[in-house]
Amino acid sequence: MHTAPIAPRAATRRVLVAVTAAVRVVDGVDRVRLNAAYVRALESAGLVPLIVPPLADTDAAVRILDAVSGLVLSGGEDVDPSLYGDTPHPALGAVNCSRDVTELALLAAARERNLPTLAICRGIQVVNVGLGGTLVQDLPSQQSDVAEHELDGQRATRVHGVSVEPSSRLARILGSASLDVNSIHHQAVDRLGDAMRVSARADDGVIEGVESDDPDWWMVGVQWHPEELTATPEPWDRRLFDAFADACRAGVSSASTSLPSALGASASPSRVGLEKEAHR
Ligand code: MN
């Protein structure tokens, strides 16, 4: 969809964020792989993505977080059900154990550091498992009366409605109590993990959003793919990436600069609110 080079907003400071990726066989060769839509969406929000593949040494993976201001857990394979005490359902898709281990280590470290974390599709599932929750392994075969949620051929099409909890961080970010989203998943959050809350549900009740209930940890998870929707007329998905970018910048400010420079002339009222929250 985007063919022209991205022009980040000149006035915003660019900060690095880690984005997880898969290793997959493509054309017969193991390759590190990330959909370029993530890169475009993050760049458009003024962020510089640093791609993190599964690493054998999880301590080394965590060290990457020393260099970044935020973490994006990206979409991909199903999470290994043994990680949440379940046995594989016949409709379980491909799993990637080294990716699970790497991403769970990154999540734990991000939570420990209050590093802003945006979790997308598989990412929301990794967060839920990492915080002690469980997943529905296959929506069509395990839940009745659910809509079709796996529409891979319509990646940039808004195919179902989502209702947002009015008091949630997500509602403040989106500026809306409802939105329409794309849907490219057959799994979903089941029993919720600790220290988090449901922020959004599809019209059929499937959980489409979660967030941290700790005001000091900006963690927003969505089951849809906002990175595929940032070029649509509706503002919701751009607002989500912009809010993540604001949280990353606020963290940089609180760690490395004084408050007055963090509240510089370009700060909008919403920026100021976010930064105050980050300093709490
Ligand atoms: Mn969905």
Report CA(98)–ligand 1 centroid distance (Å): 26
Is the pLDDT confidence value at 223 over 90? yes
Report CA(5)–ligand 1 centroid distance (Å): 30
Residues 103, 121, 149, 248: which is the catalytic one?
121
Q: Is residue 8 part of a domain?
A: no
Residues 227, 228, 248, 275: which is the catalytic one?
227
* CB under 5 Å of ion ligand 1: residues: 149, 183
Report CA(97)–ligand 1 centroid distance (Å): 24
User: Which residue reads 């009015």 in tokens?
Assistant: 166
pLDDT in tens, 31-74: 999 999 999 999 999 999 999 999 999 999 999 999 999 999 99
Is the pLDDT confidence value at 125 over 60? yes
pLDDT in tens, 230-240: 999 999 999 99
Q: How confident is the model at residue 243 (pLDDT cuts 50, 70, 90)?
A: very high
Q: Is residue 6 part of a domain?
A: no
pLDDT score at 255: 52
Q: Is residue 1 part of a domain?
A: no
pLDDT score at 152: 86
Is the pLDDT confidence value at 83 over 90? yes
pLDDT score at 267: 38
Report CA(279)–ligand 1 centroid distance (Å): 34
What pTM value is reported for the model?
0.87
Report CA(70)–ligand 1 centroid distance (Å): 25
Residues 160, 185, 186, 225: which is the catalytic one?
225
Q: Is residue 160 part of a domain?
A: yes
Is the pLDDT confidence value at 137 over 80? yes
Report CA(119)–ligand 1 centroid distance (Å): 15
Q: Is residue 92 part of a domain?
A: yes
pLDDT in tens, 167-208: 999 999 999 999 999 999 999 999 999 999 999 999 999 999
pLDDT score at 22: 95
Report CA(201)–ligand 1 centroid distance (Å): 9
Q: How many domains does the chain have?
A: 1
Q: Is residue 7 part of a domain?
A: no
- Of 135-144, 183-192, 257-266, give the lowest mean pLDDT range: 257-266
Is the pLDDT confidence value at 253 over 90? no
pLDDT score at 278: 37
Q: Is residue 179 part of a domain?
A: yes
pLDDT score at 279: 36
pLDDT score at 259: 38
Q: Is 2 a catalytic residue?
A: no
Report CA(135)–ligand 1 centroid distance (Å): 14
The CATH number covering residue 115 comes to 3.40.50.880
Q: Is residue 9 part of a domain?
A: no
Q: What is the mean pLDDT of residues 240-261?
A: 74
169 lies in which domain range? Answer: 15-279
Q: Is 275 a catalytic residue?
A: no
Q: How confident is the model at residue 30 (pLDDT cuts 50, 70, 90)?
A: very high
Q: How confident is the model at residue 161 (pLDDT cuts 50, 70, 90)?
A: very high
Structural contact between residues 118 and 45, judged by C-beta atoms closer than 8 angstroms? no
